Amino acid sequence: MTDHDKSLWQDGLPITKLSYEKIYEIVRRIPKGKVATYGQIAMLAGNERGARVVGNALHHNPDGEETPCYRVVNGQGYPSKAFVFGGIQVQVERLKKDGVEFVNGHVDMKRYLWNPYE
DNA sequence: CAGTTGACGGCCC
DNA sequence: GGGGCCGCCAACT
């Protein structure tokens, strides 16, 4: 975070230039047994409107072990259809292995959404 | 330098 | 709940 980043504002919202590296850094903080949303990652990275950029970053994720991108789902708790490491089924299995439960094909967000401030 | 491209999200039927 | 539209933004042509 540079001083220049902090000075950027738009429509009353503080925005930070997103970068794939910054996004990976946040994703690596998601604890086992929890999930985060794209918008949430974007917000933590400093630009709550950058959800789409988060998706792009994870799509280019170079390492599925170091960066647990399978712990990121959309705002409704559904896993991404274009998960690169084996597809949506693999993503679901890895989450279940983490202890995350699914209801009607989506994550029970009330119970498993990561709270980065706790 | 001007498009294009999405692992998105909010809003509106 | 579900589908369509549109605004969003960094990376890549």
pLDDT tens digit string along A25-52?
A: 999 999 999 999 999 999 999 999 999 9
pLDDT(A20) > 70 = yes
Return the bridge partners of A78, or none. Answer: none
Is residue A57 within 8 A of residue A20, CB to CB? The reply is yes
Q: Is A85 a catalytic residue?
A: no
Backbone angles phi, psi at A10, to 5 degrees: -155, 125
Query: Who contacts A28 (Cβ-Cβ below 8 Å, separation ≥6)?
Result: A66, A67, A68
In angstroms, the CA of A27 and the C1' of C10 are apart by: 17
pLDDT value, residue A49: 95
The fraction of chain A above a pLDDT of 90, given in percent, is 79
In angstroms, the CA of A15 and the C1' of B5 are apart by: 22
Return residues with beta carbons within 7 A of strand B: A 37-40, 51-56, 58-59, 61, 69-70, 72, 74-76, 80-85, 91
Given the residues A41, A69, A95, A100, select the one marked as catalytic.
Answer: A69
Model confidence at A10, pLDDT cuts 50, 70, 90, reads confident
Q: Note the pLDDT tens digit of each residue in A60-103.
A: 987 878 899 999 999 999 999 999 998 999 999 999 999 999 99
